Amino acid sequence: MDLDGLKFFFNSEFRDKYIHDNNFWLIMIGLSIAILIIFRRDWVMKNRNYKILLMISIGFCIIGNVFGFWIYESETAFGALNGLIISLLSYRFLYKWFEKKFDKIPASPLDTFWSNDKELMKDGVLNFAYLMLSFFLVALFSLWTKG
């Protein structure tokens, strides 16, 4: 049996180097909901798709907390996986708040970022605030598990 394939389990130095090199990808997974909302907000806000993404986000949150706090304990960005659920829930909250406050559905983030239309200003502020909040929270959670 080839033991090189088992390095990940038995060689802690190899495992630690592998995990540290992949912190970038953990952060990108943590930002994936924010990126998905920017480009496909109409798809995300459909009730069925939202529930599926919520279940996936809860799964990643559990994985991030187990690996980030119990298995590796520090020096990894597994906490960024908590950003999925926080991003999804915060956008849903902001979306519903905007609907009640202004009696309209907010425009898509892609429409508001490249427009100079004054009627889309409120929508743009909402989308920009969500994006900054999402990036900030993913960065905060990834630093949280860094120890």
pLDDT at 2: 45
Tens-place pLDDT, residues 108-132? 777 777 677 777 888 888 888 888 8
User: Is pLDDT larger for residue 120 or for residue 56?
Assistant: 56
CB atoms < 10 A from the CB of 59, how many? 13
For the chain, the domains span 26-144
pTM of the model as a whole: 0.75
User: Is pLDDT larger for residue 45 or for residue 70?
Assistant: 45
The token pair that represents 111 in the structure block: 């429409």
> Using an 8 Å Cβ cutoff, are 146 and 126 in contact?
no
The span from the CA of 147 to the CA of 142, in Å, is 10
User: Is pLDDT larger for residue 74 or for residue 144?
Assistant: 144
